Structure 1
Amino acid sequence: MARRRPRSSAVAIGAAVALTALLALYVVLVAARATALVRTGEPVAIALGVALWVLPVVAIWFLAREWALAIDVQRMADTLAEADELPVDDLPRSPGGRVDRGAARAAFDDVRERCEAEPDDWRSWYHLAFAYDAAGDRRRARESLRHARTLYRR
């Protein structure tokens, strides 16, 4: 069975922009409905309108936060690429494309030890994030990327 080629970064960026545009359209439509409810003058409608206005504000905050992280992660990746230090995904996979968990755990332990030895190095946290991702722990992967970004910005 042939392995699928990874999507190019241009396609991934295009998809992210398209999804952001759809979310922006949704936010605008919700904000318009919220404003219409507030303008009715009815107490219940005003309360609903104000409650609906919270959703666009929260969505915009999360969207800005995620785009800022993505931009910084790309900058870190560019820096690592220039130094030929990007993490390499060479873990064995099943025919369906899933990473072998045993191999991921073994690779993770090596990366974690490096991170513990160099806790103030953003590069070790960046690599730890990708080790978490390979091990299937997306939440810790994002936390590690956020910590790497904090160290990177210093």
Structure 2
Amino acid sequence: MNRTARVVGIIAVLVAVLAFYFILLGRRGIELIQSGGVVGIGLGIGVIILPIIGVWIVVATLRAGFAHQHLARRIHEEGLDLDPSDLPRRPSGRIERAAADELFAQVKSEWEADPDNWRNSYRLARAYDYAGDRGRARETMKRAVDLERDERA
């Protein structure tokens, strides 16, 4: 089994387990509401809210993952992947800070030349990730997804 199929399988199992858990929570919330007491109703509403939030989080995460994979596929097809394989690494496997910063500086200058190109935003998000700045990587990847969506429209 290749790596992609294994990852998709794991995600499918986790989503199924979460769905089962959300159903159990929802049932428990309904039982608490049906108990009729003020405390039971309050707790029941609170317990029902949890699976609703959980479903929202799962859907948002899966949508973002599918959008990122779509961009990754397009970048790969266009031959614009960032290839960090030749960069020096620490014993932990992480890219050495100086090398990641150098790659980031290069990609950032490309992005500054054309910030409204989703390809540059995608590459910048990857460079942020390699440099260890996950927050900015997520923020920039969202921008790349939006720009690519606008380009298709």
Question: Structure 2 length as normaliser, TM-score?
Answer: 0.90
In structure 1, stretches of 5+ residues that fail to align are 1-6
In structure 1, how many angstroms separate the alpha carbons of the residues matched to 2:10 and 2:140? Answer: 24
Q: Counterparts of 1:1-154 in structure 2 under 5 Å? A: 8-90=3-85, 91-154=87-150
Structure 2 counterpart of 1:113, one-letter code: S
- Structure with bigger helix share is 2
In structure 1, how many angstroms separate the alpha carbons of the residues matched to 2:83 and 2:12? Answer: 26
Structure 1 counterpart of 2:16, one-letter code: A
Q: After the TM superposition, which segments of 4 or more aligned residues of structure 1 sit over 4 Å from their partners?
A: none
**Matched-pair identity in %:** 37
Report the RMSD for the aligned CA atoms in angstroms: 1.4
Residues 1:89 and 1:13: Cα distance change in structure 2 (over 3 Å): farther
Q: Secondary structure of 1:93's partner? A: coil
In structure 2, how many angstroms separate the alpha carbons of the residues matched to 1:19 and 1:125? Answer: 30
In structure 1, how many angstroms separate the alpha carbons of the residues matched to 2:98 and 2:30? Answer: 54
In structure 2, how many angstroms separate the alpha carbons of the residues matched to 1:11 and 1:87? Answer: 24
Question: Structure 1 length as normaliser, TM-score?
Answer: 0.89
In structure 2, how many angstroms separate the alpha carbons of the residues matched to 1:132 and 1:10? Answer: 27
In structure 2, how many angstroms separate the alpha carbons of the residues matched to 1:137 and 1:33? Answer: 40
In structure 2, stretches of 5+ residues that fail to align are none
